[in-house]
Amino acid sequence: MPLTLDQGEAVCLIRLKGEIDITTAADLKNLLLRALASGKDMCVDLERATELDVTALQLLWAADREARGSGRSLKLAGPVPAELLAAVNNAGFESFPIGSARE
């Protein structure tokens, strides 16, 4: 499964694997909504992701904004593949935590 949600005591960890695009957008949105509803901080693990399309980036950006607005955070867990960083920056999301991440 390309998307998983692990709810710990203090943090919700969302793992993304493979291509995350329009075909998985509804599943990603549901996981993000569940994580936001938990009231916990969120971590997103992109280490095994091979592609993020603009839909996935928009969903992650909106979740980050919503989390910050309610006093929580969305952070990255582990390294972000260089190909994803390049794609995120090329899409104009360099100020988003993924775009400013370093391997």
Structure confidence by residue, pLDDT tens digits, 53-66: 889 989 999 999 99
The CB-based long-range contact list for 14-17 (8 Å cut-off, 24+ gap) reads 14/42, 14/43, 14/44, 14/45, 15/44, 15/45, 15/48, 16/44, 16/45, 16/46, 16/48, 16/49, 16/52, 16/56, 17/48, 17/49
| Per-residue confidence (pLDDT) for residue 94, from 0 to 100 | 72
| Per-residue confidence (pLDDT) for residue 97, from 0 to 100 | 66
pLDDT surpassing 50 at residue 27: yes
Question: Domain locations in the chain?
Answer: 3-90
Q: Work out the average pLDDT over 22-35.
A: 96
The structural architecture, per CATH, of the domain 3-90 is 2-Layer Sandwich (3.30)
